[in-house]
Structure 1
Amino acid sequence: MSQEALAAGVQAAARRQGLRSGTDRMRVRKWERGVQPSEESQAYIAEALGWPADIVCANDWPNWLPLTADSVIPFGPHSSVPALREALRTAMERRTFFAISGATLSALAADWAAGPTSAAVQAHDGKPIGEDLVAFLEDTTQQLAAHATEQRQHTATLLDAHLSTVTEVLEHSRYTPALGLRLHTLAASLAQTVAWHRFDLGRHTHATQNWIAALHNAHAAGDEDMGAGLLGDLAYQAAWRRDHATAARILNHALTRAGNPAARCLLQLRLARTLAARGDRSERRAVLRALAAAEQHLSDAGTERPAWCAWVSEADLAVDSGQALLDLGDTGRAHQLITEGERLLPAARDKTRGVFFAYRAASYLDLKEPEPAAAAAQSLILARRIGAPRCVNLVNDLLPRFQPYARAEGVPELLQLAAA
C-alpha cells in the first residue's frame, strides 16, 4: 500500500466514526521514519489495513503490526528474531483469531527439511554482552525448567520474561559468534518450553507460534535434532487436534534429518500414533513398522541425548505403543502395554502420568470394563492439582462413554467429581 493509499484509508476510517483525520502522505512518511502515531490514528491504521480493532496495542507500536499474511515467518538468514517477535505478539492475546493452516505448517516443515542449515548471524550493533550474562540466563532457565510439574504452573511469567530478554539481546546487542550460537539455542529451548505451557492451557495459536520461533532458532544454531523435535511437537499438536494428515506429513519431514536415536524414537512413536488414529486399517503395517523402529532406536539410544528428549523411556514406548494398538483394535495387548507404561513412569512426571491414566481408562472402556476405567478419577484429581487443563479435557472427553455404566462401581463418584 502506498503512502497516499494508507492516508486515504485512515481518513476513510475516521469518517466512518463521524470524525476527521488530517493524515496525509507526509504524516505517513513520518510514521515510517519513527514518529509514533496517536492511539486514535493507530486504530484507524488497523482498520485501513483490514485488521480488527483489538489487535492494536498503542504502547507497543509498531510491534503489533502483522509481519506476514499467514503469521508464519519463512526461513532465512535473519528469520530467528522476527519469528520470536511474532510469538511475543501473539502472547498479547490479540491475535488468537488466527488459525495457522495445516498446509502452511507442512510447507514450513518441507522448507526445513530441504534447506541447508543456517549459521547463526552475529549482531554488529548495540552494546556488547559477555559470557556471564548468557551463563546466568542459561542457568536460571534450566532451574525453571527443572521444577516438578506441579510447580511449573507458577513459573510461566518468569519463562516469558526470560524469552523476551533473550529476544532483546539477540536483536539489539553485540556478541561473539560463539555466544550467538548459545543465545539461539537458549531461545529455542525457552520458546519450546513456553509452547508446551500454552498447549497445556489450550492456547493453541500461541503454542504454535512459539514452536515455530523455536524452530527458527534451532535452525540458526544448526541443531538438526532439536529442529526435528520441534517439528515433532507441531505434529503432536496437529494430531491432538485430529489433523492426522498434517501430523504425518510433518513427522515424515522431521525424520529426514533427525540423527539421535532418542529423537528418532520419539518421532517414530508419534508417527505410529497418528497413523493409527487415522483409522485406516490398511496402514496397520506402517504403524507396526514405526513401532518397531521406535523400539530399536530406544535400544540404540545411550546417555548422550538432547535435553528436550532425554526423558524418552520404556514407559513412553509402552504407553504410546499401547495407544496405537488400541486405535488398531488390539485392545487386550493395548491394555497390557498402557498399564505397564504407567507402572514404569518416574514419579517426577505427574503430567504424563495424568495422560497415561486417561489412556488406560479408555482401554478399559474398550474392553467394556467400567469399574477399572473409573480410575480416570485419579487423572482428573491429578490434573486439577498440577494445573493441566489438557489432562482434564482428556477425562472430559471420556465422560459420555461412562453414561451407560452410571451404576457401576466408581462411576457415580467419577461423574460427580467431573461435575464439581
Structure 2
Amino acid sequence: MAGVEETARHALAVARTARGMTQDALAAGVQSAAHRRGLRSGTDKARIRKWERGVEPNAESQVYLAEALGWPADMVRADDWPNWLPLTGDGVIPLGDHSSVPALREALRTAMDRRTFFTISGATLSALAADWAAGPTSALAQARDGKPIGEDFVTFLEHTSQYLSGLATEQRQHTAALLDAHLSTVTGLLEHGRYSPALGLRLHTLAASLSQTVAWHRFDLGQHTQASQNWVAGLHNAHAARDHDRGAGLLGDLAYQAAWRGDHTTAAGILHHALTRAHNPAARCLLQLRLARTLAARGGRSERRNVLRALTAAEKHLADAGADRPAWCAWVSEADLAVDSGQALLDLGDTGRAHRLITEGDHLLPAARDKTRGVFLTYRAASHLDLKEPEPAAAAAAEALVLARRIGAPRCISLVNDLLPRFQAYGNAPGVPEFLQLAAA
C-alpha cells in the first residue's frame, strides 16, 4: 500500500491523471516524441512507474514527457524536476485534505512559466467556490518525517513577511522577489518539514497570507493566470487552517479579478458562495461592496434593488466592524464604502450622487494608500466625464497617472489609458491637451 500511496502523490502521476492518461499511454507518448526526432526510447510502463516512485528521468526524457503530456518542450526545467510539471488539466487543484501543498506548487510552477500556460475558466473557479462553501474543513497539518522546523524560524518568516507586506505603497514595488522567496520557503517547509499541528497551522496561515499578497502583485502587473493560481493556493491553505474569513476574502479577490475582466456572472456567483461562510463584519462589508459593484456592472438598472440591498448591507457591516479585523481587510473604511457605492451608482445611472460619493471617498482616503488613491482618482475622472466636465476630469486623470508611474502601479495606468478615448471629444477643453500629452509621454 505504501508504494501505491507514494505513486499517487508524485507530481508526474498527478499530471498524468489530470490529462486522463494511463502509464502505458504516457510511455507510448514518450516513444513517439523520441521517434519524431529520429531517435528511439526504451520507455515502457515499468519505467513510468519508476519515475512516479521517485526515480528522476534525465533531461532528454523530461522533454519527451512534456510533449507526451501535450505541453511545449521549452517549459521543461530539468534541474527542477518534478516541480515544473503542471498538476491539473484545468489549472485548479481540487480542494481536499492534502491539497494545500500541491496548490502552492502549482502556483510556483505557473510563476516560472511566463507564457501563462493555463487560463482558468470561470466555470472552474465557480466550481471551486461551491466546493469551498459546501465542503468540510480540511484536516490540520500533521508532523512529517523530514527535518524538524524551529518555532523561532517560523516566527522570523511571519515577522518579515508582515513587514514586507506592510511597506508603503511606493516601496512595495521592490518586494516581489522577496515575497516569492518567502512563499517558496514556506511551501518547502510544509512539504518536507517536521512540525507539530500547531506549527503547521501557523505555516498554512502564513502560506495563505503570502499567496494573497503575491497574487495582488501579479494582478497589478496584468499577470492574471499567476494571480489566479496564487489566490487559489491561498484558498487551499486558508481552508487547511480553518480560516473561513480569509477563505472568503480570497474568493472575493478571485471575484474582483473576474469582474475586472468583464465576467460579472462568475464574479457574482463566487461572491455569493464567499458570503455563506464569512463572519467578520469588515470581511462581509468588503464582499458586499464587491457584490454591489459587479451586480451593477452586469445588470445596470435591472439589478437596482439587489445593488442597493448589497450597499445597505455593506454600510451596516462597516458600522458593526470594530478593531478586531483580519489583517487582509483591516483597511476597509468609509472611503471604500463611499467610492464603491459611487461606482455602483454610476452603473445605475445616478450620476450626480455617484460623483459626490466618489469625490467624498477620495478625500477620506488616508495618505498611506497611494495605489488605491490612484484608482479612486481614475473613478473620479470618469464621473466628471459622465457629467460632461472635461477640465476636472483631465486634472484627476493626470494626477492618477503621475502617481501610478511614481509608485509602479501598472493596473492604475491601465485604468487611465482606458479613459483616453473619452477625452477625444474635448480636445480643446482646458487641461485636456496637457493631459493627453502627459499620457503619450
Shorter chain as normaliser: what TM range? Answer: over 0.9
Residue 52 of structure 1 and its aligned partner are, at CA, apart by 1.8
Shift of 1:237: 0.4
Matched, 1:310 2:348: no
Give the corresponding residue for 2:426. Answer: 405
- Alignment pair present for 1:133 and 2:137: no
**Which of these residues, 34, 37, 42, is aligned with residue 17 of structure 1?**
37
Shifted more, 34-43 versus 131-140: the winner is: 34-43
Counterpart among 171, 182, 187 of residue 151 in structure 1: 171
Listed one character per residue, the Cα deviations across residues 128-157 of structure 1 (whole Å, up to 9, x for unaligned) are 112111111111011101100000010100
2:269 matched to which residue of 1? Answer: 249
SS across alignment from 2:112:
coil
Residue 118 in structure 1 maps to residue 138 in structure 2: yes
Write the letter of the residue equivalent to 1:20.
R
Report the 3-state secondary structure (helix = DSSP H, G, I; strand = E; otherwise coil) of the residue aligned with 1:91: helix
CA shift, 1:63, in A, is: 1.5
Q: CA deviation at 1:23?
A: 2.9
- Map of 1:223 onto structure 2: 243
- Counterpart of 1:303, as a letter, is A
Separation (CA, whole Å) in 2 of partners of 1:268 and 1:3 = 48
Give, in angstroms, the shift of residue 12 of structure 1.
Answer: 1.4
Q: Match of 2:299, SS?
A: coil
Superposed CA deviations along residues 199-249 of structure 1, whole A, max 9, x for unmatched, are: 000000000000000001111111111111111100000000010000000
1:188 is matched with: 208
Aligned counterpart in structure 2 of residue 372 of structure 1, from 364, 385, 392: 392
Write the distance in 1 (CA, Å) between the matches of 2:362 and 2:235. 31
1:390 aligned residue: 411
Displacement, 1:28?
3.0
**C-alpha separation between the residues in 1 aligned to 2:384 and 2:294?**
21
Q: Percent identity?
A: 82
Residue aligning to 2:129: 109
- Cα offset for 1:178? 1.1
Q: CA deviation at 1:11?
A: 1.9
Q: Distance in 1 between matches of 2:368 and 2:323?
A: 19
| Structure 2 length-normalised TM | 0.93
Q: Which runs of 5+ in 2 are unaligned?
A: 1-20
- In the TM superposition, what whole-angstrom CA distance separates every residue of 1:307-339 from its partner, at most 9, and x where no partner exists? 000000000000000000011111101110000
TM-score (ref. length: structure 1)? 0.98
374-383 vs 7-16, which moves further: 7-16
Q: Is the 8 A contact 2:301 2:347 kept in 1?
A: no
Equivalent residue runs for 1:11-410 within 5 Å = 11-94=31-114, 96-375=116-395, 376-410=397-431
- Distance in 1, matches of 2:72 and 2:300, equals 41
More off after superposition, 4-13 vs 366-375: 4-13
Contact 2:110–2:117 under 8 Å retained in 1 = no
Q: Deviations over 1:383-406 (max 9, x none)?
A: 111111100000000000000101
Contact 2:208 2:235 in 1 (8 A): yes
Contact 1:80 / 1:220 at 8 angstroms: preserved in 2?
yes
- Asked if the contact 1:123–1:170 (Cα under 8 Å) also holds between the matched residues in 2, the reply is no
Contact 2:300 2:347 in 1 (8 A): no
- Specify the code of the residue in structure 2 equivalent to 1:386: I
Q: What RMSD over aligned residues (CA atoms) do the two structures have, in Å? A: 1.2
Query: Is the Cα contact below 8 Å between 2:29 and 2:65 reproduced in 1?
Result: yes
Q: Supply the distance in 2 between the matched residues of 1:216 and 1:393 (Cα, whole angstroms).
A: 30
Q: Would the aligned equivalents of 1:322 and 1:333 in 2 still touch at CA under 8 Å?
A: yes
- Is the alpha carbon distance of 1:416 and 1:215 closer, same or farther for their aligned partners in structure 2, counting shifts above 3 Å? same
Check whether the contact 2:301–2:349 (CA below 8 A) recurs between aligned residues. no
Deviation, structure 1 residue 27? 3.4
> What is the number of residues matched between the two proteins?
420
* Superposition deviation, residue 33 in structure 1: 3.2
